[in-house]
């Protein structure tokens, strides 16, 4: 057994401020309303897992085995109803300084509220952290929104996907790593971190209804589509089975279905074939939110489907179609990522491509591949320059950030700054790179340079939360500059010695 990982003092200060209860739910087939069939909670105290509580739940309705959990009526027949286990859950969440944690907390809290309402009980009210949204808040790059992608970024894996106890345990492990990243980035106050994450409290979340679509549809359409979620690809699927899976994925995209990204994550073993097939249909989705929904699935498959040499070719074929896609619209024409308050898939597609392009393992770029990203030689331009020249500045920017973050994690600050400077010189506009560059300009007291760099970058602002962080830093920096400015002198008298009229300051010492 390997020794426990040594953590920073900043991490210890952060985690001692609360007890984190990490929850995962599994539900019935999403035909009309999700009903709970499995529930697990893992307690994290002082940065360590302290226990696992899990139970099956009899929903009182038919259970259709779907997706990955594969639970059936027989599995839950002898399980307790929710009203028999709710007290155990609330006991875990009782006490001071408790934080509710889940991967896609909006869904899990919605399921719990759905179960609470028939009991006439009020849902518990505690702060919430969502590990699907937290990486953007603390500056941790993740190529996709799935739990698998988050675990991969930390070198972790889930041995039993879509088992509530296993998912909750793995989410707890990912939370601990994210809190370490938060501490490294200066988040040592949990209250401030919760405010920055902006995920509110549990009582503000609404019940989770049918997931296939937010658009009004005939019940028969919803029922028919829900049945497609029972399709699971085996180890050696036939061509016809792959075609049926692709057709069901396109149906999800047309309905802006919340399930599509999870469906794609579960099919990563067949990523090359599925990625190619779905990529060829990007131009078929003309309504707002549909293309972004399909891109969300492609983001889950990209790192398993493409190799480094494939990225520029793939973008050359499909980049124009992606840039031509309409942005997400109102509440009925919105992709699942936007609905969950995450970065829109239209704005994050270059993240997964950049991970592949620079050969990153999770969020770490191997030593032997870094120099090719940011170093120019007489015979060869850098990877950043090549992608910028190929009209892929977004990919170049995120590649630069991945390499800079890798250096920073190894306490190689000068190399990280070199990457940032090289990216800016190449014309990269990326919020994380711009923020790192602006901080260096601020240290040199180059106020005009800071304002110019940020103002130029903000012209390309999109749904990436990193833009909000850049803007918030600019406001804090501007306020600090104003505080340091000397007050204007009155009547030619220096502000350092001026006094209010009529006030006489006696000498403190007599000679």
For CA atoms 425, 430, 436, 441, give the dihedral sign.
Answer: positive
The number of CA neighbours under 13 Å toward the Cβ of 118 is 12
Question: 134: which 2 tokens?
Answer: 């937290």
Residue located via tokens 């919605």: 110
Averaged over successive runs of 10 residues, the pLDDT of the chain (511 residues) comes to 67 93 84 78 94 91 65 85 93 92 91 90 93 88 85 88 91 95 88 87 79 45 62 83 91 87 87 94 90 94 93 93 88 83 90 92 86 87 92 92 90 92 92 93 92 92 88 88 69 51 48 37
Compute the distance between CA of residue 429 and CA of residue 492 in angstroms, rounded to an integer.
45
Can you list the domains of the chain with their CATH numbers? 9-204 (3.30.420.10), 219-341 (no CATH), 358-418 (no CATH), 429-486 (no CATH)
pLDDT in the model for residue 172: 96
Strand spans (E) along 204-346: none
120: left (phi over 0), alpha (psi -120 to 50) or beta: left
The 3-class secondary structure across 394-423, one letter per residue, is HHHHHHHHHHHHHHHHCCCHHHHHHHHHHH
pTM above 0.85, yes or no: no
**DSSP one-letter string for 151-174:** HHHTT---SSTT-HHHHHHHHHHH
Using CA atoms, how far apart are residues 215 and 11, in angstroms rounded to an integer? 43
Q: What whole-number distance in Å separates Cα of residue 252 and Cα of residue 258? A: 8
Of the chain, the end-to-end C-alpha distance in Å amounts to 76
pLDDT at 4: 56
* 3-class DSSP state of 352: helix
What is the predicted pLDDT for the residue at 33?
62
pLDDT the model gives residue 213: 42
CB 139 within 8 A of CB 472: no
pLDDT value, residue 297: 93
- Could you identify the residue written with the tokens 């997706």? 67
- pLDDT attached to residue 409: 83
List, in sequence order, every residue forming a beta bridge with 493; answer none if it has no partner.
Answer: 490
């Amino acid at each position: 057994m390997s020794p426990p990982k040594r953590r920073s003092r900043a991490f210890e200060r952060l985690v001692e401020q609360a007890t984190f209860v990490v929850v995962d739910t599994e539900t019935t087939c999403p035909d009309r309303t999700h009903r709970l069939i499995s529930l697990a909670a893992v307690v994290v105290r002082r940065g360590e897992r302290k226990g696992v509580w899990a139970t099956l739940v009899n929903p009182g309705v038919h259970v259709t085995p779907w997706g990955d959990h594969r639970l059936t009526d027989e599995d839950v027949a002898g399980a307790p109803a929710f009203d028999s286990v709710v007290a155990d859950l609330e006991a875990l969440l009782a006490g001071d300084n408790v934080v509710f944690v889940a991967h896609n907390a909006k869904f899990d809290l919605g399921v719990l509220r759905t179960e609470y309402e028939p009991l006439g009980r009020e849902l518990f009210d505690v702060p919430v952290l969502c590990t699907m949204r937290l990486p953007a808040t603390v500056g941790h790059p993740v190529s996709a929104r799935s739990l698998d992608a988050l675990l991969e970024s930390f070198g972790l894996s889930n041995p039993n996907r879509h088992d509530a106890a296993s998912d909750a345990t793995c989410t707890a492990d990912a939370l601990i790593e994210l809190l370490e990243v938060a501490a490294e980035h200066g988040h040592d106050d949990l209250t401030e971190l919760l405010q920055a994450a902006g995920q509110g409290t549990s009582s503000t979340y609404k019940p989770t209804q049918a997931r296939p679509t937010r658009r009004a549809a005939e019940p028969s359409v919803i029922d028919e589509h829900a049945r497609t979620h029972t399709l699971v690809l085996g180890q050696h699927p036939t061509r016809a089975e792959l075609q049926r899976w692709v057709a069901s994925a396109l149906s999800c995209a047309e309905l802006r279905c919340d399930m599509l990204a999870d469906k794609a994550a579960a099919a990563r073993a067949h990523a090359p074939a599925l990625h190619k097939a779905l990529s060829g249909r990007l131009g078929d989705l003309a309504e707002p939110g549909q293309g972004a929904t399909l891109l969300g699935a492609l983001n889950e498959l990209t790192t398993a489907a493409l190799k480094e040499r494939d990225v520029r070719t793939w973008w050359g074929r499909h980049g124009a179609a992606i840039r031509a896609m309409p942005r997400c619209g109102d509440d009925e024409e919105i992709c699942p990522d936007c609905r969950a308050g995450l970065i829109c898939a239209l704005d994050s597609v270059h993240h997964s491509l950049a991970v592949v392009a620079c050969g990153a393992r999770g969020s770490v770029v191997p030593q032997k591949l870094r120099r090719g990203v940011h170093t120019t030689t007489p015979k060869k331009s850098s990877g950043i320059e090549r992608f910028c020249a190929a009209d892929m500045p977004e990919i170049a920017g995120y590649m630069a950030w991945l390499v800079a973050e890798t250096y920073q994690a190894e306490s190689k600050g000068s190399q990280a700054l070199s990457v940032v400077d090289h990216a800016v010189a190449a014309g990269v506009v990326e919020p994380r790179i711009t923020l790192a560059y602006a901080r260096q300009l601020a240290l040199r007291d180059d106020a005009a340079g800071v304002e110019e760099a940020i103002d130029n970058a903000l012209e390309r602002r999109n749904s990436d939360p990193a833009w909000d962080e850049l803007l918030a830093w600019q406001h804090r920096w501007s306020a600090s500059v104003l505080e340091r400015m000397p007050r204007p002198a009155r009547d030619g008298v220096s502000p350092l010695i001026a006094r209010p009229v009529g006030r006489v300051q006696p000498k403190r010492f007599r000679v």
